[in-house]
Amino acid sequence: MTRRWGYAAMVALLVGVHFVLRISLGLGESAPDLLTVALLLAARRLRPSVGAALGLVLGVLRDSLGVGSFGADALAMTVIGWLGGRSRDWFEGGTPPFIGVYLTLGVWAHHILRTILGGVPVDSSIIGALVIGPIVGALYAAAAGVAAFLAYTSFAAPSR
Amino acid sequence: MAGPYGAGRENRRDLWVSGFILAGAITLYALPTRYQTPLRDFVRSTVLRPVFAFQGDIARERGERAALGDVRAQRDSLFAVSAAQWGLAQENRDLRGLLGLRERTPADFVAAELIPMADLGVESTFLVTVGSADGVAPGAAVISPSGLVGVLRDVAERRSQGIDWSHPEFRAGAMTSDGDSYGIVEARRGRFREEDALALVGTPFHNDIPAGTRVVTSGRGGVFPRGIPLGLVEGIEEADTGWRKTYLVRPAVRMQAVVHVLVTRSDAEGALLRDYSAIWAVPAPPDTVTPPDSAQAGSR
């Protein structure tokens, strides 16, 4: 029970840090996408429906910051949350390399979904918009997520 | 394959619940803007309130800690903008006095601090530390000492959010400073944000605009006052089958450097009809087309 609350606290902390870094401090993409990382880490321990619901809530939060299309991130995060919950059935594992690959693919998939739902015109430049920069961003976010996961496991280990 | 949370009926129930949640997300996505806006405002004023409050504190702190020289330079430039307005205001008062018209609101702008927003989906947007309580409204122009920054979209009581010139939805009626060519300025996204630029589209094909020509707002379209610098022409982007040309424009304002701005007040009567070229020493010829509003303004 304590470990579950500890994990929830880590996820909540990641959400809070995301908004502080990206919005309050105005760091933008210099800071990793910890919101999607938080969803992906949480979804691994939740039912798919609960993961989708968490994705919807976090997506609405991010959508509320913008002035353009509302609901695009909510929809993208809902799908990613559901897939994250389902991923337990498809892939077993909790090692840092596995978490790293999982987070990289998850953050990248979210970026692709979000970009397409955001109404970006499909032309020759979309490949660059969906591949090069987003993969680097996904690796960056995954590294931050693995670091948070390792910090959590080292913190939670004595309570076993 | 059974999941770790159970099989059969529980899985089916979970799938149904997931379907409902997905349907909710799709509904939210498809909602008309007029229904989305109240929800957005509600989330901003409740869950995200601490984030914005902290952001405001950080902005104030940043403003106080900014290099004194930079702050002085920006303050002096803004003062120059305000001082130049004084001359126009005085002239306006004299002319109105001669014509026997009533006094208008003296100040067109209110000073504010700008905080750039940067997250997925909110790129090219910013917050300013003024709102409806300060006399600004959606559609207000945001300017810096270098030129046009952007336009406000959402206005709360003490805070507003706008889009800058690099936003895909940004448009401004524009002209060359000599008044030879008119067109529309829109954003061009570069491979990197530092490469973002503007494009002057829809200019007449028979007019050649040399590189280095200054582009300013034309005052047409009813959004931006006339004479605010947008940038300098860099070269031709495309010529569309003999009908019109598009030119790349190097923006006058680099968003990374903007901290202090002026926002046009909605209660400043006739602000959209004024010509601000003199403030930036931009030579601009008289407009040859009378905006429909000016006829009404003149009849007051």
pLDDT digits (tens, 9 = 90+) for B152-166: 988 888 888 899 998
pLDDT digits (tens, 9 = 90+) for B218-264: 888 777 888 888 999 988 877 666 677 888 899 988 887 787 888 88
pLDDT digits (tens, 9 = 90+) for B81-124: 666 666 676 676 666 656 655 444 446 788 888 887 777 677 78
**Is A49–B119 a contact, with Cβ atoms under 8 angstroms apart?**
no
Q: How far apart are CA B10 and CA B199, in angstroms?
A: 56
How many structural domains does chain A have? Answer: 1
CATH code, B57-165+256-280: 2.40.10.340
A74 → closest Cβ in B14, B28, B191: B28
CA distance A88 to chain B (A): 7
Domain that residue A56 falls in: 2-159
**Is B29–A117 a contact, with Cβ atoms under 8 angstroms apart?**
yes
pLDDT of residue B281: 62
**Is B122–A65 a contact, with Cβ atoms under 8 angstroms apart?**
yes
pLDDT digits (tens, 9 = 90+) for A72-98: 999 999 999 999 999 888 888 778 899
Q: What residue in A sits closest to B40 (Cα-Cα)? A: A64
ipTM: 0.86
Domain ranges in chain B with CATH number 2.40.10.350: 171-252
B66: pLDDT confidence band, cut at 50, 70 and 90?
Answer: low
Please list the residues that pair with B152 across neighbouring strands. B162
Q: What residue in B sits closest to A64 (Cα-Cα)? A: B40
**Is A70–B58 a contact, with Cβ atoms under 8 angstroms apart?**
no
Average pLDDT of the residues of chain B:
77
pLDDT of residue A126: 64
CA distance A103 to chain B (A): 17
B179: pLDDT confidence band, cut at 50, 70 and 90?
Answer: confident
CA distance B169 to chain A (A): 9
pTM for the model: 0.71
Mutation for testing the B interface, residue in A24, A58, A131 having most B CBs under 10 Å: A24
CA distance A108 to chain B (A): 12
Q: Give A9-15's long-range contacts (Cβ < 8 A, gap of 24+).
A: A10/A41, A10/A148, A10/A151, A10/A152, A11/A38, A11/A41, A11/A42, A12/A38, A13/A148, A14/A38, A14/A41, A14/A145, A14/A148, A15/A58, A15/A61
CA distance A155 to chain B (A): 25
**Residues of B with CB below 8 A from A28's CB?**
116-119, 123
CATH 2.40.50.140 matches B171-252: no
**Is B121–A63 a contact, with Cβ atoms under 8 angstroms apart?**
yes
pLDDT of residue B218: 86
pLDDT of residue A106: 94
| Cα A115–chain centre separation | 15
pLDDT of residue B106: 41
Domain ranges in chain B with CATH number 2.40.10.340: 57-165+256-280
pLDDT digits (tens, 9 = 90+) for B281-297: 655 555 555 544 444 44
A68: pLDDT confidence band, cut at 50, 70 and 90?
Answer: low
pLDDT of residue A48: 92
Question: Across the A/B interface, how many CB contacts are shorter than 8 Å?
Answer: 135
pLDDT of residue B213: 87
**Residues of B with CB below 8 A from A114's CB?**
120-121
B1 → closest Cβ in A74, A89, A118: A89
**Is B125–A61 a contact, with Cβ atoms under 8 angstroms apart?**
no
**Is B18–A52 a contact, with Cβ atoms under 8 angstroms apart?**
yes
